[in-house]
């Protein structure tokens, strides 16, 4: 057999997706459906300064929920950043049943990734280093993702990219149980993202689409997601950088980033990400900038084998 008849696929059902300008208003209803009456909100100081944290906390508190805010996530989080949240998440989620407590990740990829590890630390007597070592774990707390960059697509999978500060390398930390059960994709929440960060995170989404198309792990479903992701991101990134308040561009970028995340969760990524993770671990470079630094050269050197995939994005 050849072609599609020779292809096998095993795809997990996706999370509930709430997309649209103002979609954040539906967060309480999503938490009701999950039975979560308490929230451990994971975020960072940049989101607080942008006013996004106060807005979401207000929404959650007016729905009658107890909210504990942990805003100490640093860019490119490491194992120490996860460990620093352990006592707080265990204390916030220990009353009643852990099932009634949700970790809401409000931020960019750094926050979303850290939140997955924190959700596991909330239910396991372990350290972040144990998680990184792949020790068997009990299922983590429920995770709800609200991405504010577009982006990493980190809301689509249960694994976070966490730095091992001692070894200067990035590790994948996570588990299927902490894959976000709900993703709220609200373009309005990305409007305050500064121009340079909009460009860097948009390049990340574009590279996800390109590397997913070229991956040996691609299948017809990942290709469909990746092709549409590349179309949306390449058509909107310049406009979003030029005018951060352009909601149409922000919407296209956010959906494109999400679809690229779904694509990479199926296919895996490639050499551009491999080199960029190592670069960031050694230099602290912004993820999207590290990707942009090597994208052209990797494409040139792999054109002989990945040419058909690259032709799709030309």
Ligand X SMILES: NC(=O)c1ccc[n+]([C@@H]2O[C@H](COP(=O)([O-])OP(=O)(O)OC[C@H]3O[C@@H](n4cnc5c(N)ncnc54)[C@H](O)[C@@H]3O)[C@@H](O)[C@H]2O)c1
Residues that bind ligand X (CB under 6 A): 44, 46-47, 50, 52, 75-76, 107-111, 113, 148-149, 151-154, 157, 159-161, 189-190, 192-193, 197, 201, 204, 287-288
Q: Would you say 196 or 311 has its CB closer to ligand X? A: 196
- Least distance from ligand X to the Cβ atom of residue 46, Å: 2
Residue with nearest beta carbon to ligand X? 46
In contact, 112 and 152? CB cutoff 8 Å: yes
SS (H, E, C) the chain: CCHHHHCCCCCCCCCEEEECCCHHHHHHHHHHHHCCCEEEEECCHHHHHCCHHHHHHHHHHHCCCEEEEECCCCCCCEHHHHHCCHHHHHHHHHCCCHHHEEEEEEECHHHHHHHHHHHHHCCCCCCHHHHHCCCCCCCCCEEEEEECCCCCCHHHCCEEEEEECCCCEEEEEECHHHCCCEEEECHHHHCCCCHHHHHHHHHHHHHHHHHHHHCCCCCHHHHHHHHHHHHHHHHHHHHHHHCCCCHHHHHHHHHHHHHHHHHHHHHCCCHHHHHHHHHHHHHCCCHHHHHHHHHHHHHHHHHHHHHHHHHHHC
- Least distance from ligand X to the Cβ atom of residue 49, Å: 8
Q: What is the β-pairing status of strands 159-164 and 169-174?
A: antiparallel
- Least distance from ligand X to the Cβ atom of residue 200, Å: 6
Q: Would you say 152 or 236 has its CB closer to ligand X? A: 152
Q: Which residues contact 1 (CB under 8 A, 6 or more apart)?
A: none
Q: Would you say 98 or 210 has its CB closer to ligand X? A: 210
- Least distance from ligand X to the Cβ atom of residue 285, Å: 11
Q: Would you say 65 or 250 has its CB closer to ligand X? A: 250
Q: Would you say 46 or 122 has its CB closer to ligand X? A: 46
- Least distance from ligand X to the Cβ atom of residue 110, Å: 3
Q: Would you say 18 or 44 has its CB closer to ligand X? A: 44
Q: Would you say 160 or 209 has its CB closer to ligand X? A: 160
- Least distance from ligand X to the Cβ atom of residue 313, Å: 18
Q: Would you say 190 or 252 has its CB closer to ligand X? A: 190
List 187's β-bridge partners, or say none. Answer: none
| Rounded Cα distance, 26 and 184, in Å | 8
| Rounded Cα distance, 218 and 99, in Å | 35
- Least distance from ligand X to the Cβ atom of residue 311, Å: 25
- Least distance from ligand X to the Cβ atom of residue 50, Å: 4
């Amino acid at each position: 057999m050849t072609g599609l008849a020779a292809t096998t696929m095993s795809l997990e059902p996706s999370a509930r997706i709430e997309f649209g300008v103002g979609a954040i208003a539906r967060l309480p209803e999503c938490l009701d459906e999950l039975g979560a009456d308490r929230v451990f909100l994971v975020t960072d100081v940049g989101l607080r300064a942008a006013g996004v944290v106060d807005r979401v906390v207000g929404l959650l508190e007016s729905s009658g929920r107890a909210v504990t805010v942990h805003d100490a996530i640093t860019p490119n989080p490491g194992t120490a950043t996860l460990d620093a949240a352990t006592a707080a998440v265990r204390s916030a989620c220990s009353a009643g049943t852990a099932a009634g407590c949700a970790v809401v990740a409000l931020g960019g990829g750094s926050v979303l990734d850290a939140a997955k590890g924190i959700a596991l630390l909330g239910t396991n007597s372990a350290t972040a280093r144990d998680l990184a070592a792949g020790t068997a774990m009990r299922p983590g707390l429920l995770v709800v993702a609200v991405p504010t960059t577009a982006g990493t697509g980190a809301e689509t999978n249960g694994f976070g990219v966490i730095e091992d500060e001692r070894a200067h390398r990035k590790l994948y930390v996570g588990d299927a149980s902490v894959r976000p059960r709900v993703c709220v994709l609200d373009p309005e929440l990305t409007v305050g993202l500064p121009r340079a960060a909009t460009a860097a995170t948009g390049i990340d989404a574009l590279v996800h689409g390109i590397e997913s198309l070229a991956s040996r792990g691609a299948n017809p479903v990942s290709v469909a997601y990746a092709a549409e992701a590349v179309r949306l991101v390449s058509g909107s990134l310049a406009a979003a950088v030029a005018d951060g308040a352009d909601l149409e561009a922000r919407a296209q970028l956010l959906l494109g980033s999400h679809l690229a995340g779904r694509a990479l969760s199926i296919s895996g990524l490639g050499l551009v990400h491999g080199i960029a993770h190592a670069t960031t671990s050694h230099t602290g470079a912004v993820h999207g900038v590290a990707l942009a630094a090597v994208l052209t050269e990797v494409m040139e050197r792999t054109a002989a084998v990945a040419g058909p995939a690259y032709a799709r994005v030309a």
